[in-house]
Amino acid sequence: MAALTDLSLAAARDGLAKKKFSAREIAEAHIKAVEGARGLNAFITETPEKALTMAAQSDARIAKGEARPLDGIPLAIKDLFCTEGVLTTAASHILDGYTPQYESTVTSNLWRDGAVMVGKTNLDEFAMGSSNMTSYYGPVESPWRREGDNRPLVPGGSSGGSAAAVSARLALGATGTDTGGSIRQPASFCGIVGLKPTYGRCSRWGIVAFASSLDQAGPFARDVRDTAILMRTMAGHDPKDSTSVDLPVPDYEATLDGGVKGLKIGIPKEYRVDGMPAEIEKLWSQGIEWLKAEGAEIREISLPHTKYALATYYIVAPAEASSNLARYDGVRFGLRVDGDSLDDMYARTRAAGFGAEVRRRVMIGTYVLSAGYYDAYYLKAQKVRALIARDFDQAFGQVDAILTPTAPSAAFAIGDKMDDPIAMYLNDVFTVPASLAGLPALSLPAGLSGDGLPLGLHLIGRAFDEATVLRAARTIEKAAGFTARPGAAS
């Protein structure tokens, strides 16, 4: 039998139900794996005792024949989700010692269904970054290496710790949050599946806010089925989040193998950007062929405002962030650096508490909202955002899902692109448009780069149609037969 850490989530679930192994055994195997992989720096806080307690509860329920959908499944939780009684940092110095007295809705849903928490994962500070380099707790290393090159690589970001943990077999699944690509890009870099649901599908209550109109929680897993299973538990209406939508959550797993026969798949011509590596271009063509072979109808579509998406995103997201992060002021919790006056205390606390990237975005956001600039930047960005959403609306009049690459490159080395924020921002060029339109989008591993690193394909669906996205992803997954695994996990 495979190691317990190598099981898929679905196989672990089924094995637990058949009592082939216990939740305690799975938990212990993962706790050991987490300890053994500390070099990756994937976790900010490990919670082995909590994992064992939760596993014991799962075992008790399984013994009584009262197993819940995720009983005994070890998960890693991005440290942006508030967890009751467990340090929650957002990877920021400013949240030093902050232990919430409440549990986020999404993690509550997971625990309700029996999942087990192994720890809180590292991330870019306040989820601002695409490399996990901006964390106050230091960068996360990807478990992957280029062939013949042992330089550590970034796992992507901002949910880098979660992606690295799932890829390195430290958890069977993980939560992430995605504002402009923070689930999909690290999933692509780490060779796993990541789904950003429709905005409003998962509650944002209890998740440290970055950009409220874009933030959305979603699952990471090693295959599409596991992603579907986690998605079902995480989703659902929450009256505590006014932007959460009251729609039934389908059984995504049940429709997973429905195939793509007759499905119309859009290929947006605007995503063929200059300088895209040939191997990514090739992977994209391969993806099209796989879908076509399974009976999908391929259509070229146009999303004309795509080229404005990144600029729009880097106005809207920092604007909201500048306001969302005002609460970190040293008054009520977290870090405080005393000063000569209230304003001085604010300035010192925030200067010491926020890293460079967060400070940069707070300043950009403050600037675009200020008197005299609001119309030219924020208001204009909102108008362009509406046009981008309209592009998708029109496209979905003709197609059922859209296929693109997830990122314009494979993972890069730790330290690269650090001196050039714009180059870093370009990582999100394919993921940001769906975020601005609030649409569900998924990245799945579909091939390897020339030097042996995973590359992801990206599927975008209609609002609240995660089921079709997962179904198309499952089709590609079967065709791609991606079996590569990172060196650190072999």
* 370 touches another protein (CB under 8 A): yes
**Pairing label, strands 173-178, 216-221:** antiparallel
Binder of another protein out of 63, 326, 376, 423 (CB under 8 A): 326
Is 374 a binding residue for another protein by CB under 8 A? The answer is yes
Q: Is the dihedral of CA 274, 278, 279, 281 positive or negative?
A: positive
| Active-site pick, 22, 131, 182, 409 | 182
Total residues contacting another protein by CB under 8 A comes to 44
CA angle 397, 401, 404 (to 5 degrees): 120
* Nearer Cβ to another protein (145/204): 204
Is residue 302 annotated as a catalytic residue, yes or no?
Answer: no
Contact 58, 50 (CB under 8 A): no
Residue 108 known to be catalytic: no
Q: Does 96 bind another protein (CB under 8 A)?
A: no
Residues 63 to 82: which contact another protein by CB under 8 A? 81-82
Contact flag: residue 341 with another protein (CB under 8 A)? no
b/e map 330-369, b = 16+ CB within 10 Å: beebbbbbeeeeeeebbebbbeebbbebbeebbebbbbbb
| Closest approach of another protein to the CB of residue 273, in Å | 29
**Residue 99 sits in the site that holds another protein (CB under 8 A):** no
Residue 371 touching another protein (CB under 8 A): yes
Q: Which is nearer to another protein, 227 or 435 (CB)?
A: 435
450 binds another protein (CB under 8 A): no
Q: What is the closest distance, in whole angstroms, from the C-beta atom of residue 18 to another protein in the complex?
A: 38
Whether the Cβ atoms of residue 132 and residue 163 lie closer than 8 Å to each other: no
Q: Is 220 in the site for another protein (CB under 8 A)?
A: no
Q: Which of 206, 405, 447, 461 binds another protein (CB under 8 A)?
A: 206
Q: How many CA atoms lie within 13 A of 77 on its CB side?
A: 37
Query: Which among 26-34, 87-95, 389-397, 436-444 is the span making contact with another protein, rule CB under 8 A?
Result: 87-95
**Catalytic annotation on 78?**
yes
Task: State which residue, 244 or 468, has the beta carbon closest to another protein.
Answer: 244
Whole-number minimum distance, CB 34 to another protein, in Å? 25
If the CB atoms of residues 88 and 131 are measured against another protein, the closer one turns out to be 88
Q: Looking at beta carbons only, is 183 or 211 nearer to another protein? A: 211
Choosing from 78, 120, 196, 417, which is the catalytic residue?
A: 78
Residue with smaller CB distance to another protein, 105 or 406: 105
When the beta carbons of 24 and 237 are compared against another protein, the nearer one is: 237
Task: Indicate which single residue of 195, 211, 358, 429 sits in contact with another protein (rule: CB under 8 A).
Answer: 211
Least gap, CB of 127 to another protein (angstroms): 12
Site for another protein in 222-251 (CB under 8 A): 239-243
Binders in 377-406 for another protein, by CB under 8 A? 378
Compute the least distance from the CB of residue 335 to another protein, in Å. 13
Minimum Å distance from CB 133 to another protein?
Answer: 22
In sequence order, the β-bridge partners of residue 298 are 265
Active-site residue list:
78, 158, 182
Chain residues binding another protein by CB under 8 A are 81-82, 88, 90, 95, 98, 100-102, 104, 204-209, 211-213, 239-243, 319-320, 322-323, 325-327, 329, 331-333, 342-343, 346, 366, 369-371, 374, 378
